[in-house]
Amino acid sequence: MRVSAIQDLREDENEDWEEEEKIFLKPVIEDRNMELARKCSELISDVHYKEEFKKSKGKCIFVPDTPQLKHVKSLGAFISEVKYKGAAKKDLSNPLYQQMPATIDSVFAKELMHLQSKVLYKQKHDAEKGFSDYARMREPPDVKHAMEVSKHQSDVSYKKDVQDTHRYTEVLNRPDIKKATEITKIISDAKYKKGRGELNKESAVLGRPDFEHAKGVSKLLSQVKYKEKFSKEMKSHQYNPLDCASFKQAQIASSLASDVKYKENYEKSKGRSMLEFVDTPMYQVSKEAQKMQSEKTYRRDFEEGIKGRPSLDLDKTPEFLHIKQVTNLLKEKEYRKDLEEGMKGKGMTVFEDTPDLIRVKNAAQILNERQYKKDLETEIKGKGMDVGPDTPEIRRAKKASEIASMVSTAPGVSFPLTEMMFLLFRVC
């Protein structure tokens, strides 16, 4: 009993001692044992943590990447890049070489960097031109779901409309439907005929006297109005083109132009006879043939009619007078020919364009014009062209002109006066 009591006392004392140790802490002395104990506790805690990690491995559930989570991740990465770039720019904005004095190499390097950045930016812009981020984006699930729902709805509505159109195809063959359609047709025909009858009843108005009187009055009023309008338009000022300044100016210009043309034609035809023809090749051939034929006929007529007969009153006939005029012209031509052959080249070549010679030429031209005008007034003017082209006088004139042309075309051949008279008598 005593041993058990002693043991109880000792246990009580030990418990009291432990409680006092817990309440009143003893000062801890840092020695090697304490460091060892501390390291051992750390290792034990790591072992326990790893054991718990190994036990819980495989029990966690990974959350799928939702659009919101992807958006947050992209924002986080973007923010981190922005912050990184901002810090890098701050560090690069104040480098050591900027605090140094500027040298030629540093300025040249800055310009090169600036140009290179512009070139790279333009190359990147040209390469990415035409591409958009919207074309590369993947379709989100909401958009896919909405597109599928719209497709299904369109199919459902289309099938519903088709069913509605093909559902009541046998209704038309029912007897009540047929009867209803016939009744509607009959009613529509009756209403149409009723309306036509009312229109026919109203047509009797056209024959009433007051209506006819109104029609006549309206016609008279329309005529009166038309006449009043016509009289007003006639009394009003009308445009007269003859009084226009442009028309008068055009008249004056046309008259001046006609005078100028008339004078030009007169200058061109001055000194020419009215029996001139254009020397065409056909005209020359016919002229030569006529000459040959005329020579034969002249000789035959001379031998038959004139040879051995005296000339009676030849100086008073118009033919003889015409021959005399032709001979005078031939004499003038011979004189001019002799003048050109005899005088030309003997001292007159130098004085061809002298004032005296020009004055003489102008005087001769004026005399020829006066003689031509005199002949025109005395012989042709007032008599008309009633003489036909096949009359004997015209033929004789043609033959005389041919003889004169023969004489003028042969300047080296001299024709005696007897032969000239002989030819002229043949012409007559």
Quote the pTM value. Answer: 0.14
Rounded CA-CA distance 264/266 in Å is 5
pLDDT tens by residue, the chain, 428 residues: 444 545 565 666 666 666 655 554 555 567 788 888 888 888 888 777 778 777 777 666 666 678 888 888 888 888 878 887 887 777 776 666 566 677 788 888 888 888 888 888 788 778 777 666 655 656 777 878 888 888 877 776 666 666 655 555 555 667 788 888 888 888 888 777 776 666 655 555 566 778 788 888 888 888 877 778 777 777 665 556 666 777 788 888 887 877 777 777 777 776 665 555 556 777 777 778 888 877 777 777 777 766 555 555 555 677 778 788 878 887 777 777 777 776 655 544 444 567 777 877 887 888 777 777 777 667 665 554 444 556 677 777 777 777 776 655 555 554 444 455 555 555 45
Q: Are 400 and 326 in contact (CB under 8 A)?
A: yes
Enter the tokens of residue 78: 């973007």
Return the pLDDT at 350: 46
Q: What is the residue-wise DSSP string for 38-67?
A: HHHHHHHHHHHHHHHHHHHTTT--PPP--H
Rounded CA-CA distance 185/187 in Å is 5
SS3 of 112-123: the string is HHHHHHHHHHHH
> Which residues are CB-neighbours of 262 under 8 A, at least 6 positions away?
none
Query: Taking the CB of residue 423, how many other CB atoms lie within 10 A of it?
Result: 19
Return the pLDDT at 157: 66
Q: Write out the H or E segment, with its range, that includes residue 308.
A: none
**Residue 101 main-chain phi, psi, to 5 deg:** -65, 145
Sign of CA dihedral 345, 347, 351, 356: negative
> Diameter of the chain by CA atoms?
230
Rounded CA-CA distance 165/188 in Å is 27
Return the pLDDT at 1: 44
| Strand, coil or helix: 139 | coil
- Provide the residue ranges of all domains of the chain, joining segments of one domain with +: 282-309+316-343+354-427
For the chain, how are helix, strand and coil distributed in percent, rounded to 5? Answer: 75, 0, 25
Rounded CA-CA distance 284/405 in Å is 12
> Which residues are CB-neighbours of 294 under 8 A, at least 6 positions away?
399, 402
Rounded CA-CA distance 250/137 in Å is 82
| Range 340-360 burial, b when 16+ CB lie within 10 A, else e | eeeeeeeeeeeeeeeeeeeee
**Residue 54 main-chain phi, psi, to 5 deg:** -65, -35
